[in-house]
Amino acid sequence: MKTLALLALLILASCAGQGGDDAKQVALSSTCMEYGNLTGESMYNDYTDTWWFEIDAVKEGCAPACVVYENRTAEVNWRCTGLLPG
């Protein structure tokens, strides 16, 4: 049973990795590149079925990422926190 579970995890990881390469190409050809370059850091969100690629754009109080959706569209999510200076 443990072997079967391990095999299933390896297959899922392999599929996610391939999707990451495809998603990276979508990010590279999207409007995200108008704001900065990919940094090489990325993650896959199972819940939202999205790939998040960190970008080196600078905006105070923000940690921007290029989000690639399953329909092969992408947009910048600025992930800003805190109060804006007045």
Contact 37, 44 (CB under 8 A): no
Residue-range definition of the domain harbouring residue 59: 2-77
Whole-angstrom Cα distance, residue 9 to residue 7?
A: 5
- Asked if the structure places residue 86 within a domain, the reply is no
Sign of CA dihedral 21, 27, 33, 36: negative
- Asked if the structure places residue 85 within a domain, the reply is no
Average pLDDT of span 63-86: 90
- Asked if the structure places residue 72 within a domain, the reply is yes
- Asked if the structure places residue 46 within a domain, the reply is yes
Q: What are the two backbone dihedrals, phi and then psi, of residue 76, each rounded to the nearest 5 degrees?
A: -80, 130
- Asked if the structure places residue 84 within a domain, the reply is no
| Structure confidence at residue 3 (pLDDT) | 52
What's the pTM?
A: 0.75
How many structural domains compose the chain?
A: 1
- The set of residues, in sequence order, having a beta carbon less than 8 Å from that of 60 and lying 6+ positions away, is 85
- Asked if the structure places residue 52 within a domain, the reply is yes
Whole-angstrom Cα distance, residue 62 to residue 56?
A: 11
Predicted confidence (pLDDT) per residue in 66-76, tens digit: 999 999 999 99
